[in-house]
Amino acid sequence: MTKLSVNINKVATIRNARGNNLPDLVQVAIDCEKYGAQGITVHPRPDERHITYQDVYDLKPVVTTEFNIEGFPNTSFINLVLDVKPQQVTLVPDPPGVLTSNAGWDTAKQKDFLKEIISEFKAAGIRTSIFVDTAMTNIENAVGTGTDRIELYTGPYAEIFDSNRDEAILSFTKAADLANKLGLGINAGHDLNLNNLSFFKDNIKALLEVSIGHALICDSLYYGLENTIEKYLNCLK
């Protein structure tokens, strides 16, 4: 079964809007796991507009499934990850101030940069994943970075899913087939939701994990957090 990692950034966004501890981010993470989530994802950004670095330290002792920290590997982020030692770090090529992740790494141009950072994380016993699009050259060159996994950026899939699901999935099935042949683990994330998740999972061989935040938190406003997590898990069965 593909694992569900719940990204709790949006919970922190709501909390930060009032400057107190409501909702309690740590308690939400504990409850997500209690309701069946197999991982917790956070993506601290330099401006700490949602997840703060202190949140990462507060979450580390309570996350009992998989703790996945996403982000751009600047010096502060690297030091944070090496200090916390999550089960997985996902490297994302976010420029400063970007609203949300919207592109994958150019693994040919940035291979040496990624290779150096990934070797440092792997030496610390941290599994690594890198955010990539479906371009075959980026999948092929990902191997040379030393990463354990790739996370397929699924924004383009979600964008055209409603109008043409077969076209939407095509490049992703090809990318996944290549990744499987090259021995890369496959994660996925971005704009996956209750409408498009099952079809994606059914068509991507050996999909190990999906990281979902925005849509899941939005759905929980209507269904409640426990019911929403159950709905997403059902999509992955």
pLDDT tens column, 40-79: 999 999 888 899 999 999 999 999 999 999 999 999 999 9
Is 70 among the residues known to form the active site? Answer: yes
pLDDT at 88 over 70: yes
Span 111-120, average pLDDT: 97
CATH H superfamily, domain 3-235 = Aldolase class I (3.20.20.70)
Looking at the DSSP bridge assignments, the partners of residue 69 are 42, 89
Span 181-197, average pLDDT: 97
Backbone φ, ψ for residue 149 (5° rounding): -135, 165
pLDDT of 176: 98
177: which residues sit within 8 A by CB, 6+ positions away?
205
pLDDT at 94 over 80: no
139: which residues sit within 8 A by CB, 6+ positions away?
107, 132, 150, 175, 178, 179, 182, 184
* pLDDT band per the 50, 70, 90 thresholds, residue 104: confident
Give the separation between CA 69 and CA 91, rounded to whole angstroms. Answer: 9
Is 190 among the residues known to form the active site? Answer: yes
Catalytic residue among 33, 50, 66, 70: 70
Is 214 among the residues known to form the active site? Answer: no
* 156 prior amide bond cis, ω within 30: no
Catalytic residue among 66, 151, 190, 209: 190
pLDDT at 147 over 60: yes
pLDDT at 107 over 70: yes
80: which residues sit within 8 A by CB, 6+ positions away?
44, 53, 56, 69
Cβ-count burial 75-89 (b if 16+ within 10 Å, e if not): eebbebbeebebebb
Catalytic residue among 33, 43, 50, 209: 43
pLDDT of 100: 53
Is 91 exposed, middle or buried (CB count within 10 Å of its CB: 0-12, 13-18, 19+)?
buried
Give the separation between CA 90 and CA 80, rounded to whole angstroms. Answer: 13
